Amino acid sequence: MNVLIVYAHEEPKSFNGAMRDTAVRVLKEVGHTVEVSDLYAIQFNPVGGKQDFTALAEPAIFKYGVEQTKATEAGTFAADVAAEQEKLLRADLLIFQFPMWWFGLPAILKGWVDRVFAAGLTYGGGRWYSQGVFKGKRAMLSLTTGGGPTIYSPTGLNGEMDTLLFPIQHGMLYFLGFDVLPPFIAWSVARSSQEEREKYLRAYTDRLRNWRTSETIPFPPLEEYDETLQRKQAVN
């Protein structure tokens, strides 16, 4: 199986770096092919726009989604975007490894999504959510936080972690059709001991060894929505 780790930390000696190294090692040990997009190292440009394309289909007025769809047909994605799309398309497991910044993805990783998850190529024409292009493939967030778990509990000051990750797990990964594994969260690593960090890496190792069989987040399939895209039975 092929695994793509999209890694967004500038400091190789960081705990995110250790998590990336652990994942590469463990996944290779079980026989997978592992690719890493080290976004800081490759100086990935996260700004979506005209430079995503070698030619514009409608230069008079720039419409990003239109250009992405046309570029999918014409093969006119810029080389940096096309290279990442090729990695994405061959991945059976996609991992985002990142420090949570402002309750979401660091911009360099958000922009990887903006540019690589292109209309036409990765969704469109009824291909989304449980009927998405990446149906049957899996994805997982692996992140570090500043705060501890209680501040992200349902009654915690920062809001519930599931809610904060919903735009990413549901809106980006499940949107493309991925089955989304529960996130692996290393809480408050800046304030953790060496022993706690080693414990996290062992727990992450276990998670990685079981990625093909672990239960995924039960987002509802398209069949549970009516023709106006409303959930047929309200589930509270």
Binding site for a copy of itself (CB under 8 A): 10-11, 13-14, 40, 46-50, 61-65, 99, 101-108, 110-111, 113-114, 117, 129, 146, 150-151, 153, 155-159, 163-164, 166-167, 170-172, 175, 190, 222, 225, 228-231, 234
CA distance 187 to 40: 23
Q: Least CB distance from residue 83 to a copy of itself, whole Å?
A: 18
Nearer to a copy of itself, 31 or 59 (CB): 59
Nearer to a copy of itself, 176 or 181 (CB): 176
Q: Least CB distance from residue 199 to a copy of itself, whole Å?
A: 21
Nearer to a copy of itself, 127 or 209 (CB): 127
CA distance 81 to 132: 20
The answer to whether 27 and 1 are in contact (CB under 8 A) is: no
Q: Which residues pair with 207 in a beta bridge?
A: none
Nearer to a copy of itself, 1 or 164 (CB): 164
Spell out the long-range contacts of 160-169 with Cβ–Cβ below 8 A and sequence spacing 24 or more.
161/185, 164/100, 164/103, 164/104, 165/141, 167/104, 168/96, 168/104, 168/105, 168/141, 169/141, 169/217
CA distance 211 to 30: 11
Q: Least CB distance from residue 133 to a copy of itself, whole Å?
A: 15
Q: Least CB distance from residue 46 to a copy of itself, whole Å?
A: 4
- Cα distances (Å, whole numbers) of residue 93 to 40, 59, 67, 162: 21, 36, 28, 21
Extract the tokens encoding 225. Answer: 């929505």
Nearer to a copy of itself, 14 or 76 (CB): 14
CA angle 40/44/50 to nearest 5° reads: 160
Extract the tokens encoding 129. Answer: 């959510």
Q: Least CB distance from residue 79 to a copy of itself, whole Å?
A: 19
Nearer to a copy of itself, 88 or 105 (CB): 105
